[in-house]
A and B are shown apart, each in its own frame.
Chain A
Amino acid sequence: MANAYISLPELISKNQTTLLHDWISLQRQTGAFNRRIKEEVLLEQSRGLLTELCSALQAGAPNDLKATEWSATRKILEEVSGTRTSLGFTPAETATFVFSLKEPIFNLLFAKTDSNVEKQQQEIWGINLLIDKLGLYTTEVAQSARENVIARQQQELIELSTPVVELWEGILALPLIGTLDSERTQVVMENLLERLVTSSAEFAIIDITGVPTVDTLVAQHLIKTVSAARLMGADCIISGIRPQIAQTIVHLGLELNVVSKATMADAFALALRRTGRSVEKRVASPKNGSL
């Protein structure tokens, strides 16, 4: 009796055209065809997935998606996940696309009822598990793509947001922007201290115009940065203290113990004065202009 039994891979590959037709019309009914994804793309991906699934099954691929027999199937799933994510589909919607293949396959299995019920049940269960794995794989792909993006952006943010600028010989400026969590503050402090060594600057202006909230943790980080700079022989000036920040700092009871100025311009002027320089406006004398 076992000989008469048509195995599942055989059944699927024999009926590949019917399956694809059924699957596509099912997707049409459930509204999977819509303006978000081009019909050609959906048709091509459905066909591709089914073809690769068949050839993998025929090659006797094990039940583990990591096996080499599945590499072509994995590739097409990655492609499906990629196009759909970029079109704004949720991972659940993408997985549902794969899961929807169950219905036509099951219909096919039920139609070819075999006397060997036990064997048929096993195969149904097997294909069920397999399609679940395929669907979940698209979710995994989408997730790891997203995590990569986040990790890269975090890295970019850390690098972008902490430049040390030389305003004048011996005067550095450190414009801080955004949230000062501890990881970024560490980078800020290192950048500043390194530049203090290479430029042997006497003054560092730390500008906090772009820091939306100054709470005790931010203040603590600022104080630490200022003390470290002081140990290296540089004086710090904190600039960019807006009125609302000044009031909040007072209510918090914070003592920054550092010279501070409302604007970067004021801080720069002070640093120039302290280093024995002055900025003067040239008096224009129209008659002796050329002299």
Chain B
Amino acid sequence: MIVEADDVLPVRSTEDVVRVRQEVRSRTAAVGFSLVDQTKLITAASEIARNTVIYGGGGTLRLQILQNTTRRGVRLIFEDKGPGIPDIERALTDGYTSGSGLGLGLGGARRLSNEFDIASKPGEGTTITLARWKR
């Protein structure tokens, strides 16, 4: 698999969340995602970016365009040095939130992506990787 483009964006404020959505929109459009697929990845990115700001205390997004032998895709890697997620399974449960949201963002983002991974260590930070392939 080839990583065609690899950019890093700051995810520190709610304004950055807006920018993340715009960047993901332009990348997915450039790769040729359908409108539905674009919207799915943008929405997933919006959820995770907001979590990075609110719960992770800010971090970064690595935006990659992927190419393997048969298809193209977009991968998003959100990284923060926040408090981490103590119980990932619980965090992924719909309706559970440690904040004031609906508790659907993390699980929803997983359902909106083709590939989804959370790596988190309490006290050290969280890395969430999402990818979606062009159909």
Contact = CB atoms under 8 A, between A and B. Distances in A.
A and B interact:
yes
A156 interface: no
A21 B98 CA distance: 69
B111 A215 contact: no
Nearest to B107: A253
Contact of B36 (A181, A214, A215, A243): A243
What is the interface residue range for chain A against chain B? Answer: 20 to 34
B46 A251 contact: no
Interface in A198-251: 212-217, 219-220, 243-245, 247-248, 251
Given A247-B36, A247-B40, A248-B39, A220 B102 contact: yes
B43 interface: yes
Contact of A253 (B42, B46, B94): B94
Interface in A151-210: 179, 181-182
B39 A244 contact: yes
Contacts of A252: 43, 47, 104-105, 108, 111-112
A82 B98 CA distance: 49
B35 interface: yes
Interface in B65-110: 94, 101-102, 104-105, 107-108
A109 to B, nearest CB: 45
A220 B47 contact: no
B100 to A, nearest CB: 9
Nearest to B46: A215
A234 to B, nearest CB: 23
A215 B43 contact: yes
A216 B108 contact: yes
Nearest to A247: B36
A94 to B, nearest CB: 26
Contacts of A181: 14, 18
A254 interface: yes
Given A252-B112, A253-B94, A253-B107, A216 B39 contact: no
Contact of A216 (B18, B25, B102): B102
B43 A214 contact: yes
Contact of B108 (A213, A243, A253): A253
Interface string B1-33: 000000000000010001001000100000000
Given A248-B40, A253-B104, A213 B112 contact: no
Nearest to A215: B46
Contacts of B101: 216-217, 220
Given A244-B35, A251-B111, A252-B112, 8 more contacts: A182-B14, A212-B42, A215-B50, A216-B105, A217-B50, A220-B101, A248-B40, A248-B43
8 contacts: A212-B42, A213-B42, A215-B46, A216-B108, A220-B102, A247-B40, A252-B111, A254-B104
